[in-house]
Amino acid sequence: MAALGGLLCAQAGKTITVRMLDGKTGKLITTSTFMVRVDHEPTVHADWVAPNEDGTGKLTLPRIASLLSIQATYDSSMMIYVNCDTAGEDANTVDRWYSIAEILTLGVAAPNGCVKPAEAAKLKLLTKLKPVAKPASVAKPGEFVFYVRKQNWREHIREDESPR
């Protein structure tokens, strides 16, 4: 029976808890649509994250996946949050990729570039502008935490004008 349980887990893939936080306040944001990509593939998987009762998401990935990139939408539309790990860049065109193995073993909190370091300290946000920060109190093993903000008016206009 134990062998059967192991086989079923292997087929199901890897499971990660996803927490999306407001880049300015550090508060949990819930969304109905996470957009997940794996291993630099262009395919977006909007159905891989199931919402948990506490506002987090349960992300189930294929066993062979090694990297992930994630975004989310807001206002019941296709308006895409800007990930704070791309702050200072053309935010809607840059994807950051995170090691699934590292998320599973250590936990990963993406950097929060949406606040200044003094504001981050004041809000007790532990991630700073480092490539990958993983403080134990922010991301636990098996957990991916990322910070977002809504698009500003310039980004919104640019997205509306871009060819689809």
Judged against a pLDDT cut of 70, whether residue 101 lies above it is answered with yes
pLDDT at 129: 43
pLDDT at 15 over 60: yes
pLDDT in tens, 103-140: 999 999 999 888 877 766 665 544 444 444 444 347 99
pLDDT at 10 over 60: no
Residue 6 backbone dihedrals phi, psi, to 5 degrees: -65, -40
Res 50: pLDDT: 93
